[in-house]
Structure 1
Amino acid sequence: MEPFSGTTSVYVFGAGGHGKVVLDVLLSENKYVVKGILDDGPKSDTLFGIPVKKNFNRQKLQARNCIVAIGDNAIRKKIVTTLDTNFIMTIHPNAIVSKFAKIGPGTQIMAAAVVNPDAVIGNHCIINTGAIVEHDCRVENYVHVAPNACLGGNVTVGEKTLIGIGATVIPNVTIGKNVTVGAGSLVLQDIPDNAVVVGAPAKIIKYQDLN
């Protein structure tokens, strides 16, 4: 389950709020030397004492270790597709991740999160602070499970979907791609692609633009 042993150099792409959390995880693991933080529009020159670089050559990142620390799913995917690099995953020391779970590269699992046996989490996902992914879940690429959200057993979540803060999805539900589940919502049935759902029980209020 652990991506590396020993000390490993890594670059972090993203100097915003989510970047701070990812950086904190990397520093807490005591496995990484953060060589630099990359951001196209940084608000400061350093983050936790580490230089933030605006003008950088993406080609120089080839074969380097990198993690994209952007909270927005669509933007995270867009940046990932511009980088030819070795994406690492990172797991906070206080997270509980079953040795029988599968975690894809680029995925970030934050403090107090729980990932239970036979869960499969794709690439470049965020399992945020205190979130729970129960047994046999299937979480596709670029999904964000926000703080304190809970996926019951055998839930499937499609690519680029956001499960909002404190939302709950009951077992055996399938949620489509590019869905937004509002904060605190209770999902009791399958949700189609591109839907925005809110409430308890969650109901569709609109569909998102695909562009």
Structure 2
Amino acid sequence: MTNDIVVVGSGGHAISVTNVALSCGYTVISYVDDCQAGKKILGTPVITFEECYSIYFSHNICIAIGDNAVREQVFKEYKVKMASAKFPILVHESCVIGINTHIDEGTVVMPLANIGPNSTLGKCCIVNTSSSIDHDCKIDDFASIAPGVITGGIVSIGKRTAISIGATIKHDTSIGVDVVIGANSYVDKNIGNCMVAYGSPCRKVRDREIGEAYLT
């Protein structure tokens, strides 16, 4: 059971997480998705949430859901209903992790990502393929960094904020909570809370509700 893990989710992100879990020496024994229960993914069964609660209450769990707010909701539900479950940190073997860097439970770091020294990644974050987080950065709980994102040093990214593919964030810049930064944007100034922003330079486009869907 020590090296077994249950992946909560059944989409493309769950497959990507599986790749990282295997790199870390885990064996995926089940996927969890009420809508896909009874099917198989990569030959592994998909079960319901209720089945997971009753069968795997003390196992390793990874919440492999791409939407940040939904991932937070599911993570908190599992913490209540499965108090003995563990949420391991998954870092692909090809990543570079700097000295004095702290990564919290449930976070997944995809292949070829770089995390600079003295940085902090919160709970259940996603740092995606070939992204680069430089020194002294803080990525707060449930935030996500898409493939190819580059940050300078001393960058702060708030809870549930999503940085989309190929965005670049200038050194010593802060982005608030519940923000979506559009693909290929260049963020050269601080960004507040609860907004959609994009462009080069990146600027606010509109307000955004907490929990508003952003993945299509």
TM-score by length of 1: 0.92
Which residue of the partner structure matches residue 123 of structure 1? 123
Whether contact under 8 Å (1:46, 1:52) holds in the other structure is yes
Residue-by-residue CA offset, 1:4-54 (whole Å, 9 max, x unaligned): xx961111101101000001111223x212221111222871111211113
C-alpha RMSD of matched pairs (Å): 1.7
Please report how far the alpha carbon of residue 86 of structure 1 lies from its aligned counterpart in structure 2 after TM superposition: 1.2
1:81 aligns with 2:76: yes
Whether contact under 8 Å (1:62, 1:86) holds in the other structure is no
| Matched length | 205
Please report how far the alpha carbon of residue 59 of structure 1 lies from its aligned counterpart in structure 2 after TM superposition: 4.4
The whole-number CA distance in structure 1 between the counterparts of 2:199 and 2:124 is 28
Which residue of the partner structure matches residue 35 of structure 2? 41
The whole-number CA distance in structure 1 between the counterparts of 2:166 and 2:14 is 21
Q: 1:50 aligns with which of 44, 47, 50?
A: 44
1:14 aligns with 2:9: yes
Which residue of the partner structure matches residue 3 of structure 1? none
Where do residues 55-204 of structure 1 align in structure 2 (5 Å cutoff)?
A: 56-83=51-78, 84=82, 85-204=85-204
Whether contact under 8 Å (2:37, 2:46) holds in the other structure is no
Gaps in structure 1 of 5+ consecutive residues? 1-5
Label 1:95 to 1:41 Cα distance change in 2 as closer, same or farther (>3 A): same
| Letter paired with 2:117 | P
Gaps in structure 2 of 5+ consecutive residues? 212-216
Whether contact under 8 Å (2:89, 2:105) holds in the other structure is yes
Whether contact under 8 Å (2:180, 2:195) holds in the other structure is yes
Which residue of the partner structure matches residue 26 of structure 2? 32
The whole-number CA distance in structure 1 between the counterparts of 2:189 and 2:135 is 18
% identical equivalent positions:
31
